[in-house]
Chain A
Amino acid sequence: MLDPVIASRLQFAVTTIVHIVFPVISMGLGPFLIYFTWKSIRSQSPVYEQLRRLWTRVFAITFVVGTVTGLVLEFEFGTNFAAFSSFAGELFAGPLAFEGLIAFMLEASFLGIFVFGRDKVGDRGYFLSAVAVGLGSWLSAIWILIANSWMQTPRGYEIVQTGGQEVIRLVDPLAAYLNPRFIWMFVHMQTGVVESVALLLAGIAAYQLSKRSSDDSGVPLWRATLKVSLVVLLITAPLQVIQGDLYARHIYHTQPEKFAAMEAIWETGRYVPEYIVAVPTTIEGFHTPDAKQLFGLGIPGGASWLASGGDPRAVIRGLDSFPTPHPPVAIVFWAFRIMVALGFWFVLLAFWGGVRLWRGGLYRDRLLLGALQVSAPLGILAVELGWIVTEVGRQPWVVQGLMKTRSAVSPGLSSGEATLTLAGFVVGYLALLIVYIVVIRRILNTAPPAVGPETGGTDQMEGIDNE
């Protein structure tokens, strides 16, 4: 039996880490679907109609899984983090309610039309439903990130006593909602989701092309997928690295403890190096996430240079200078490093693909197609790592400077109940992920789906034969 605090934190970690996969895919698919729908209406080529159908099916299932796993998170604020919900609900729950009213209603209503209504509405109506679904999913991100960013850089509130309890009161909604972190987080996340889906699509297309002969009926569809996703990757990958760099500087100014953990800086100083890798120099150091004796390989003055925007002599506060306990440094340090490395890898991949796209030979470059296949899930991995930096890096706080995570957990929760539901989620979500992958694989392997309702059965059979 686990301590209820530990079990609740682990459970929230498991349920968010699994949940985030689905909104990343559905939000990232949004712009692609709008484009495919537009082209399927405007162009005579059947490929775009096939693309629209294929990715709409993937979207529909992803959206449903995202809905049900998202509902779990909404419940968990009450079930597991009741103390937090009572304390910060006035500020935190407003954006959640607005997400439901403004974003989710729009998305879910038009999803019905988008998924099931192609032959019930005209081209214009159908295109509008695609836009409404995409817009709804992005509006959702706005409200969720307002709630999250407020926990990182809380503004526009006061703390008052009611009934013997401290609670947060909203005093300035604009300051609270448009807190300093929000716009950084929103741009980084939304660029990340589009980049992740571009990588996913490019990788799947590379895989499908590598196992089909060039006269296969599915080849035009997968070639179109590859081209579109590489173009999107070329736009998003460099943007993400540049914006990410500025974002890190913003974190240095607003959450210096998190920045110090990202860089594993213990002592305040000048000329702080940017470690590429850092390993503990003692055996015991490997057992704890906060070993101080580190051997690092890095760029002298690099971290100072990054944080200050160009001055290698800039002073950086070390973790030892903060009165509160530090976050588990190794997790934050490595999650940040791997995310950044992936970000640069995606830029390389984007330029490599871009050159092949421009100069020709894209479909013959086995090495590139292989690299794309390997990289298919790595965009989502980078998003996960980024969130680990964000969420682990703010520990021990659940709301920066206002409430510690261990005080956020429901007071009456028993370790038996908390352990039971944690175990249930570990098993259930593993099964859910397997089911999701099986179903999506089947949809992709039977692509291209039929165009025109009459030929549905036969085309699908052909697809199955190809497996």
Chain B
Amino acid sequence: MSNGWLGTEPWFGLPLADLWFILVFVLFGTFLLLDGFDFGVGMLYGLRRDEAVREQLLAAVSPFWDANEVWLVVFGGALFAGFPSVYANLFSRHYLLMFGVLLALILRGLSPELIEARSGARWTQFWQGAFVGGSIASPLLLGVFAANWLIGAHQLQWFPGLLVGLTLCLLCLVDGVAYLGFKAPSLRPSLPRYGTRAMVGYLGGVVLTLGYLYVVVTPLSSVVFSPIVLGLVVLSIVFAGVYVVALAREQYRIAFLTVASLVYAFIGVVITVMHPMVDRADGLTVSEAIVSPLALNLLTLVTVAILPFITGYFIVLYSIFRGPASSAENY
């Protein structure tokens, strides 16, 4: 059967490969925004001792986290399908790290289901610990992964890795605080305190990371000092200010929108710094690593067709459970 209908040239010319590159990171950003507040809620769970508050925190994420985490699966799938060799190189290069990420995600995924599945203090404590630990370790290790990808490290580099990891943890905390403004009214008095501290830490992390890239990773110096990156950093600082004010005024919708802007600004920085490379360690550019035009056209067609539906599912899901979470789970 002939497949003239998909063509053998990329649609809209070569930039389709670049668009797919951008899409891969936007998918990661969407994961970071949506599962980010799940992680942030998990961190706050570790800070609170009151069981009623903890139950409410758990209930705030229970119906959503699974759907949120699918964005990570889709990110992985899009990277693998668009840039198979990059997926293979990255995952095999940082072998043990990837299994660390898996362990963190497994513990975080299982624990909410298991905390109340059985009575017994040790059982409960273990899975509560796993929930908090998984919520911290997941963004931390994903940050280590992202940093090593960006700088093109052959051997795992822990300093920039942990720097980016901690920055992502703080972003998730910022995210979780804004989200809990909607979901956990009883926590509202303490949210500005958590949010402001986490936000200051996040901005510090971004500046330190960019400083490290500028000074240590010399091939990236010029792009770190480029107008786009500097512009995004300035925008992030403005958004951070708006976030802090919005939290203090209990305007959680605005706070959440600023978090979304911060997440995509972060992704914008990553895209700008990495492009045109997609795997710096192996010296692969986007146009070298992309799959054939036919495969790319097919991926694009399916993705463009399905994304409106996915948006619809998430609107339905979040609007059904809008408003404060009730701590009683109902099967």
Contact = CB atoms under 8 A, between A and B. Distances in A.
A445 to B, nearest CB: 12
Nearest to A89: B84
B55 to A, nearest CB: 14
Contacts of B194: none
Contact of B313 (A109, A411, A442): A109
B73 A74 contact: yes
A112 B310 contact: no
A433 to B, nearest CB: 12
Q: Which of A85, A89, A439 has the most CB of B within 10 A?
A: A89
Nearest to B93: A412
Interface string B56-88: 000000111011011011101110110011011
Interface stretch (B110-118, B241-249, B258-266): B110-118
A90 B62 CA distance: 36
B317 A112 contact: yes
B99 interface: yes
Interface in B185-225: none
A438 B298 contact: no
B146 interface: no
Contacts of A98: 77, 302
Interface stretch (A39-47, A57-65, A201-209, A256-264): A57-65
Interface in B108-156: 109-110, 113-114, 117-118
A252 interface: no
Contacts of B77: 74, 93, 96-101
The DSSP consensus for interface residues of chain A is: helix
Contacts of A175: 1
A112 B321 contact: yes
B1 A105 contact: no
A316 interface: no
Contact of B88 (A71, A83, A105, A119): A83
A172 B77 CA distance: 20
B234 interface: no
Contacts of B306: 101-102, 105
B80 A93 contact: yes
A167 B70 CA distance: 29
B110 A64 contact: yes
Interface size class of B (residues with CB under 8 A): 35 or more
Contacts of A72: 102, 106
Given A89-B85, A113-B316, A174-B1, A101 B303 contact: yes
A453 B330 contact: yes
B75 to A, nearest CB: 9
Nearest to B329: A116
28 contacts: A56-B331, A64-B109, A71-B72, A71-B102, A71-B105, A74-B77, A75-B76, A75-B99, A79-B98, A81-B88, A85-B85, A85-B91, A97-B81, A98-B77, A105-B313, A108-B66, A109-B67, A111-B66, A112-B63, A116-B62, A172-B2, A173-B3, A173-B294, A174-B1, A417-B95, A417-B96, A428-B103, A453-B328
Interface of B: 1-3, 6, 62-64, 66-67, 69-70, 72-74, 76-78, 80-81, 84-85, 87-93, 95-96, 98-99, 101-103, 105-106, 109-110, 113-114, 117-118, 288, 291-292, 294-295, 298-299, 302-303, 306-307, 309-310, 313-314, 316-317, 320-321, 328-331
Given A72-B102, A89-B81, A116-B321, 12 more contacts: A64-B66, A68-B102, A68-B106, A75-B76, A78-B88, A93-B81, A101-B77, A104-B73, A105-B309, A112-B62, A113-B320, A172-B3
Chain A to chain B: the 5 pairs with minimum beta-carbon distance, closest first: A89-B84, A78-B91, A97-B77, A112-B63, A109-B313
